[in-house]
Chain A
């Protein structure tokens, strides 16, 4: 009798705490999803301008998307999209190569400059990233990359040039690959280079995918570097600056709903890539060789 009472009250308590937790989670989830939901709604909103009188649009339309991709006279969104895509592809290739080779060296090879290099990398990380932005701009200008089509090259360099400093995650991953594999390969007469591309690389798929995706996403989500490098050259704007400009005072009345449409267009692919990347990231954290 007594025992039943205790289990009964425990059940009740469990039920209560479960309900509380689920309610809190539901409220939080609504807060977190609300802005996203709202921007999707806005992108289909028929009335223009940023002033809203009601939460739900009065009428729905696809015109915002159409205007975004066809009205190229003022803000050329398709071109910005193409710019960003080109920049993203190149900087992704370069920085993947940089990151992988630096982290392999830091993880597997022992040489005199290893420790100093890692310390310098840590110190560099403490400086505000764009403190040197103005200087980078003048350097790029001095080698003639600040005008015309060369802006794309400049942006690729900016996004990928210093990427060798972000080696920590990949290094941590390489550290988990058993050294015995390397040693076996050396005994079979492999050079270190062969070990790198015949053993380490094939075993590192999760971290390679992770690196590729992070560096690919960089140019899409970066705003400040692109703004400093591009200045007023609207032909070479990336998507981020374009979207930002749509909210500036002179454009906001006509472009506000298009901004929402553009945000949706950018966010969907990025969100998918991000979720894929997360999967590989967790996989990467759990180590390379299992069993």
Chain B
């Protein structure tokens, strides 16, 4: 029981047993060398400050490194992950020993090490195939995520010189962000409001216009379908950051669009594309249409062709025009089929970092505020962490983004036809 692998060794599964034993030894060595220390520091996150000590012999001040709370937190969490992994291994070893015991009692064949390896390619194929990808996900997705989430409960920020040493503060940061009257709170609610407006418009308009475009290209009378499609696909084939940077330079006060319009005599002074809040907001939504419509067009083309032709036929016989058919047949059908796609797009738009960051950079920014008028929660998060070093607030905002998204997707998903009534259109 205590010595992992003993049961396996007793049943002639020597290599397997030794492997288990090796893991246990490695684990305890790790715990003794650094694990226990890491865990014990996790409570206080370190207290020793960096100190200056006068070195008599050399005649200079020497710096003694203090604790670095960030690393303590990171190592502490990593240690917890290792412990969880060890407990799982320990369970596995017990299980395998128990299984060997049972098989022996029943007088059946006990797997040798070679058999185990063979099993990894057959019965246990999922274990061998998933190990590496799963390790990648745990180390590069889950561990950082847990790390950032725990940061939301600390005072790790530029405020009050807490960049090196910080402490647990519980839910204080959440209170600060959600508080209507504080400055951070006000910024948060206004950014959240704009994020939702942006996501709804970006998703909805893209969806409808993309669908109309697809219908226009695919309708019977249209010539050169391939050519039109190529024109639009071309614009998404260009890497997004390139086309967005181009757009940004084109819309500058002395950029191509303003120059062109001024030369034509349509305007006297440059249009304030990114300097006026309302202009900037409309501009980013419109440019996002430029980016997004071709995507939607490609995504929905196939589905549109699946709409039963009889439906349209019947509508025409009843004298419905193009608008009525679109809103009574095409849209409901598409909404029914593509709800999961819509939810993904909505999520993507709430987290749409590229468009905002590369296009407007969140500008125009009011004086003294950390977020601009076009900043989404994600770009604000970026500014707070990378530029301003308010890591704790940034982490809270990340969590809030997740909460908003989770609520929206759950609610929409529950209220849609594809969930309530799976065979409605068949």
Interface residues in chain A, defined as those with a beta carbon under 8 Å from any beta carbon in chain B: 14, 17-18, 21-22, 24-25, 28-29, 31-33, 35-36, 38-39, 50-55, 97-99, 101-102, 104-105, 109, 111, 114, 123-136, 138-139, 142, 157-158, 160-165, 191-194, 196, 217, 220-221, 223-224, 228, 240, 243-244, 247, 256, 259-260, 263, 266-267, 270-272, 274-275, 278, 282, 285
A40 to B49, CA, bound (A): 56
Query: What 5 additional pairs, Cβ within 8 angstroms, besides A35-B243, A114-B126?
Result: A28-B232, A53-B259, A135-B144, A223-B358, A270-B238
B223 with A22: CB separation less than 8 A: yes
A228 to B259, CA, bound (A): 35
A247 to B249, CA, bound (A): 9
| Nearest CB in chain B: distance from A13 CB, A | 11
B353-395 interface with A by 8 A CB criterion: 353-354, 357-358, 377-378, 381-382, 385-386, 391, 394-395
| Nearest CB in chain B: distance from A202 CB, A | 18
A115 to B240, CA, bound (A): 34
Choose from A25, A133, A193, A272 the contact partner of B222 (Cβ within 8 Å).
Answer: A25
| Nearest CB in chain A: distance from B195 CB, A | 11
| Residues of B with C-beta under 8 A to A270 | 237-239
A-B contact pairs, 17 of them (CB 8 A): A21-B219, A52-B254, A54-B263, A102-B133, A109-B125, A111-B126, A123-B406, A128-B401, A131-B378, A132-B141, A138-B147, A142-B71, A217-B239, A247-B248, A267-B239, A271-B237, A285-B302
| Residues of B with C-beta under 8 A to A275 | 233, 237
B294-331 interface with A by 8 A CB criterion: 294, 298, 302
Given contacts A131-B398, A275-B237, contact A191 B121 (CB under 8 A): yes
A161 with B263: CB separation less than 8 A: no
| Residues of A with C-beta under 8 A to B213 | 28
Choose from A52, A105, A193 the contact partner of B121 (Cβ within 8 Å).
Answer: A193
Given contacts A50-B252, A52-B259, contact A132 B222 (CB under 8 A): no
List of 4 A-B pairs having minimum Cβ-Cβ separation, nearest first: A164-B133, A132-B144, A135-B144, A271-B237
B221-256 interface with A by 8 A CB criterion: 221-223, 228, 231-243, 245-250, 252, 254-256
| Residues of B with C-beta under 8 A to A138 | 70-71, 74, 147
A14 to B357, CA, bound (A): 45
Chain B facing A: main interface SS? helix
A132 with B145: CB separation less than 8 A: yes
Beta-carbon nearest neighbor of B389 in chain A: A134
Choose from B151, B221, B385 the contact partner of A14 (Cβ within 8 Å).
Answer: B221
A257 to B395, CA, bound (A): 39
Interface residues in chain B, defined as those with a beta carbon under 8 Å from any beta carbon in chain A: 70-71, 74-75, 118, 121-123, 125-126, 129-130, 132-134, 136-137, 139-145, 147-148, 151, 213, 216-217, 219, 221-223, 228, 231-243, 245-250, 252, 254-256, 259-260, 263, 290, 294, 298, 302, 347, 351, 353-354, 357-358, 377-378, 381-382, 385-386, 391, 394-395, 398, 401-402, 405-406, 409
A114 to B141, CA, bound (A): 18
A126 with B409: CB separation less than 8 A: yes
A99 to B136, CA, bound (A): 12
A22 with B222: CB separation less than 8 A: yes
B130 with A102: CB separation less than 8 A: yes
A21 with B254: CB separation less than 8 A: no
A129 to B351, CA, bound (A): 8
A105 to B56, CA, bound (A): 66
A99 to B353, CA, bound (A): 24
| Residues of B with C-beta under 8 A to A124 | 137, 141-142, 145
| Residues of A with C-beta under 8 A to B409 | 126
B125 with A196: CB separation less than 8 A: yes
